[in-house]
Structure 1
Amino acid sequence: MPNSSIKNEAQYEALRDKGYSKQKAARIANTPESGERGGKAKPYEEWTKSELYSQAKNVGLEGRSKMNKSELMEALRNN
């Protein structure tokens, strides 16, 4: 049964099949870039702290307001 709050249902289901939690799969499937092929984004080292913060907000990272640039990069990579 489709969930109207999930923007990319196919990606959500694929992530759930890989063992992701419902919450994490939904966060990823609901990001604006969900389902796009990778390789187009510049490395996090080239992002500004503001851009990193916005991305952290998009994926729902907690504690992001207290993180510096390197902590935001690490958290985004390990989320």
Structure 2
Amino acid sequence: MPQRDPGPSVKDQEMYEALREDGASKEKAARIANAAAASSRSEVGRRGGKATDYEDATKDELLQRARKIGIKGRSSMKKDELIKALREHG
């Protein structure tokens, strides 16, 4: 498998590659790798768990989240479709 060079903005390339191989998007892998480089890998893992379940959010909250990350067609989606699109984004 060829190495993917994420460029100089990624601070922990080893972690970035591992996350990409596990299926994380480029954006998510870079965000996590940079957070790990800024502190420590174990600290990044402990900070997780603050997100709420999409099922507990209102449709308006899901629409705002979808708008923020640029999901197309969000205005015509039902709540369960929004949840699926948000989860698949990454």
User: Does TM-score exceed 0.5, indicating one fold?
Assistant: yes
CA deviation digits over 1:19-47, x for unaligned, max 9?
A: 78xxx645x579xxxx5843111110100
1:58 matched residue in structure 2? 68
Q: How does 1:22-37 map to 2 (within 5 A)?
A: 25-26=26-27, 37=47
**How far off its partner does 1:10 sit?**
4.7
In the alignment, is residue 41 of structure 1 matched against residue 51 of structure 2?
yes
In structure 1, C-alpha distance between the alignment counterparts of 2:57 and 2:51, rounded to whole Å: 10
Consecutive unaligned residues of structure 1, counting only runs of 5 or more, are: 4-8
Identity of aligned residues (%): 40
Richer in helix (by share): 2
In terms of Rg, which structure is larger? 2
**How far off its partner does 1:48 sit?**
0.5
Moved over 4 A (4+): none
In structure 1, C-alpha distance between the alignment counterparts of 2:11 and 2:50, rounded to whole Å: 21
2:86 matched residue in structure 1? 76
Measured on the aligned residues, the alpha-carbon RMSD in Å equals 3.3
In structure 1, C-alpha distance between the alignment counterparts of 2:60 and 2:11, rounded to whole Å: 30
